[in-house]
Amino acid sequence: MDTRPTAPVPPPGCPAHESGGRVPLHGPGFAADPQAYYAYLRHYGPTAPVELAPGVEATLVTDYSAALHLLQDSGTFRKDARRWRDLNEGRISPDNPVVPVLAYRPNCMFSDGAEHLRLRQAVTDSMARVDQRRLTRITGRASEYLISQFGPRGSADLLGDYAKQLPLFVFNELFGCPADIGDRVLFGISGMFDGINAERAVEVLFGAVGELVALKRARPGDDVASWLMQHQAALNDEEMVHQLALLLVAGNEPLRNLIGNTLHRLLTHDAYAHKGGLIDEALDDTLWENPPMQNLAPHYPAADTEFGGQVLRAGELVLVSFAAANTGPDLTAAREAGSSRAHLAWSAGPHACPSKEPARQISLTAIESLFNRLPDVELAVPEDSLIWRPGPFNRGLATLPARFTPLRKGLHPAPQGNPGSPAAGGPADPAGKRERVGRWSQFLNWLTG
Ligand code: HEM
């Protein structure tokens, strides 16, 4: 048997291979086949030199053990992005497209030590108060509403019409958003992620969340926003706005992609054969092999340090590739042999996702509702024509066109006996003074019949 190591195969069209420079994690080549890039990056060793956007350099950890080591060593590797040397020294422009994801904000994701503990405890304790049955009910209602909108057509984009919308609706309800604030939250988050007028979208989102904080100070409800406010961490208004915005942003995009990537898997892998019992398995396989957040966990060494065979300078940007770590040859072999080692789709260590249980539950309920309502749903286009969105951080489809037997109109009445969503603070506009045109307003109208 030939045991010579095989030469690393560069991903098709990878410009770094020709130039000997950093491997770009942006552009259509990476979006089309990230695993080819990860296979190539592994030849550098546990860490590799990458570029996140033109001119934005980073070190990417691709090896599972090295990734775990970094995520658990919060003395050496810090989260506070005010340490980011390239931004501080002007080598990256503040309007670079990756800056909104990576730049410092006063929330738990970008804090270390005691401050992190305080903010994170407030977040986890408040999310832990969400009752599982209520979450299933809220998700079920949002699913029912969205399916009622496209079901009679017999075709839909399961991304744009469903996976993308559903988390927004669930969050509005969990946070107790009244109609007008909820509409602006939906507008802000969608604009931010779609990059359409993103600056304005961020402004609208923070404005709406600020109003929500003021509203809940005056009239607390039975919702996450009010519980966060009542927490013993005693968050001030600015801290409230930033933790709520983090929950909305950190929750929506990966949740949309967890639903979308799992639906994609169910519709393209015969092994699951659309059987209800296998949705759980498809979701876990997605977390292993096609995780919604493929590269993130930005960290900055507190001092110059040796790591994974190379020297990292203080304040240099280091990211973890959850997708590469999960699919490395050693881990794949261990997984096939029945090892209990966990995947890194939720990250690990002190900054691991604090909401994996609700995120799993929302995703499973959304997917089950869809297959229950549309049992013969199938992909409407060839699999290889599907387009994945570009970008180094998230992994998600641009669209997921599907077809199914059309639902008959009129068979899906709005739920009765619930005049105004209690979480939304009852009828939000009893005098009808404001125009109810946004999607959240329409949902609330549908709910109340
Ligand atoms: C209910 C929905 C979700 C909420 C509210 C949520 C919230 C959060 C928050 C607040 C953090 C920061 C924690 C900290 O720094 O201490 C976080 C981190 C993280 N979440 Fe989630 N999340 C949700 C869904 C998801 C999903 C679906 C995924 C993908 C499988 C995911 C993957 C991650 C990862 C990888 C991190 C670490 C990111 C980093 O260190 O840069 N989350 N999440």
> What's at 308, amino acid-wise?
G
The separation between CA 328 and the C-alpha centre of its own chain, rounded to angstroms, equals 22
Q: Please give the distance, rounded to the nearest whole angstrom, from the Cα atom of residue 307 to the centre of ligand 1.
A: 25
Q: Please give the distance, rounded to the nearest whole angstrom, from the Cα atom of residue 79 to the centre of ligand 1.
A: 14
CA distance 43 to 53: 22
Residue nearest to atom 1 of ligand 1 (CA): 359
Q: Which CATH architecture has domain 25-104+294-344?
A: 2-Layer Sandwich (3.30)
Q: Please give the distance, rounded to the nearest whole angstrom, from the Cα atom of residue 425 to the centre of ligand 1.
A: 27
Q: How many CA atoms lie within 13 A of 90 on its CB side?
A: 0
* pLDDT of 183: 87
Q: Please give the distance, rounded to the nearest whole angstrom, from the Cα atom of residue 209 to the centre of ligand 1.
A: 19
Ligand 1 atom nearest the C-alpha of 111 is 15
Residue nearest to atom 40 of ligand 1 (CA): 297
Q: Please give the distance, rounded to the nearest whole angstrom, from the Cα atom of residue 362 to the centre of ligand 1.
A: 14
Residue nearest to atom 5 of ligand 1 (CA): 251
The neighbour count for residue 128, using CB atoms within 10 Å, is 12
Put the strands of the sheet holding 295-301 in their side by side order.
23-24, 47-53, 56-61, 318-321, 295-301, 77-78
Superfamily of domain 129-293+348-449: Cytochrome P450 (1.10.630.10)
CA distance 310 to 290: 28
Q: Please give the distance, rounded to the nearest whole angstrom, from the Cα atom of residue 393 to the centre of ligand 1.
A: 13
What token pair was written down for 200?
Answer: 């304005």
pLDDT along the chain (449 residues), means of 10: 53 66 92 96 96 95 97 98 97 88 95 98 97 96 96 97 94 91 86 73 92 97 97 97 94 94 94 72 96 97 96 98 94 82 95 96 97 95 95 94 90 42 38 52 80
Q: Please give the distance, rounded to the nearest whole angstrom, from the Cα atom of residue 254 to the centre of ligand 1.
A: 8
Which residue bears the tokens 């040859």? 329
Question: Given CA atoms 185, 190, 193, 197 in this order, what sign does their dihedral have?
Answer: negative
Ligand 1 atom nearest the C-alpha of 247 is 5
Q: Please give the distance, rounded to the nearest whole angstrom, from the Cα atom of residue 355 to the centre of ligand 1.
A: 6
Strands (E) located in 6-126: 23-24, 47-53, 56-61, 77-78
Question: Contact at 8 Å (CB) between 188 and 208?
Answer: yes
Q: Please give the distance, rounded to the nearest whole angstrom, from the Cα atom of residue 213 to the centre of ligand 1.
A: 22
Pocket of ligand 1 (CB under 6 A): 108-109, 120, 123, 246-247, 250-251, 254-255, 258, 287, 291-293, 296-298, 322, 345-347, 351, 353-355, 358-359
Mapped onto helix, strand or coil, the DSSP state of residue 222 is: coil
Q: What angle do the packed helices 279-289 and 237-268 form, to 10 degrees?
A: 110
CA distance 404 to 398: 20
C-alpha triplet 395, 77, 333: angle, nearest 5°: 50
CA distance 341 to 132: 27
Residue nearest to atom 26 of ligand 1 (CA): 254
CA nearest to 86, candidates 61, 103, 109? 103
* pLDDT of 422: 36
CA nearest to 98, candidates 398, 338, 298, 235? 298
Q: Please give the distance, rounded to the nearest whole angstrom, from the Cα atom of residue 109 to the centre of ligand 1.
A: 9
Residue nearest to atom 22 of ligand 1 (CA): 251
Ligand 1 atom nearest the C-alpha of 358 is 1
Question: Contact at 8 Å (CB) between 349 and 360?
Answer: no
CA nearest to 351, candidates 37, 28, 67? 67
| 305: phi then psi, degrees, rounded to nearest 5 | -150, 155
Residue nearest to atom 19 of ligand 1 (CA): 353
Q: Please give the distance, rounded to the nearest whole angstrom, from the Cα atom of residue 89 to the centre of ligand 1.
A: 29
Q: Helix and strand tally (H, E) in the chain?
A: 18, 11
- pTM of structure: 0.91
Mapped onto helix, strand or coil, the DSSP state of residue 251 is: helix
Q: How many CA atoms lie within 13 A of 164 on its CB side?
A: 20
Q: What is the DSSP string of 322-339?
A: HHHHHHSHHHHHHHHTT-
Mutate to test the pocket of ligand 1, among 223, 355, 395 (most ligand atoms within 8 A of CB): 355
Residue nearest to atom 27 of ligand 1 (CA): 255
Question: Contact at 8 Å (CB) between 15 and 24?
Answer: yes
Q: Please give the distance, rounded to the nearest whole angstrom, from the Cα atom of residue 4 to the centre of ligand 1.
A: 41
CA distance 50 to 4: 27
* pLDDT of 179: 83
Mapped onto helix, strand or coil, the DSSP state of residue 195 is: coil
Mutate to test the pocket of ligand 1, among 300, 353, 360 (most ligand atoms within 8 A of CB): 353
Within 315-437, residue ranges assigned H as helices are 322-327, 329-336, 356-373
> What's at 7, amino acid-wise?
A
Ligand 1 atom nearest the C-alpha of 71 is 40
Helix, strand, coil percent content, the chain, rounded in steps of 5? 55, 10, 35
Q: What is the torsion angle, in degrees rounded to the nearest 10, for the CA atoms of residue 417, residue 419, residue 422 and residue 424? A: 140
**Where do the structural domains in the chain lie, given as residue ranges?**
25-104+294-344, 129-293+348-449
What token pair was written down for 56?
Answer: 């934005």
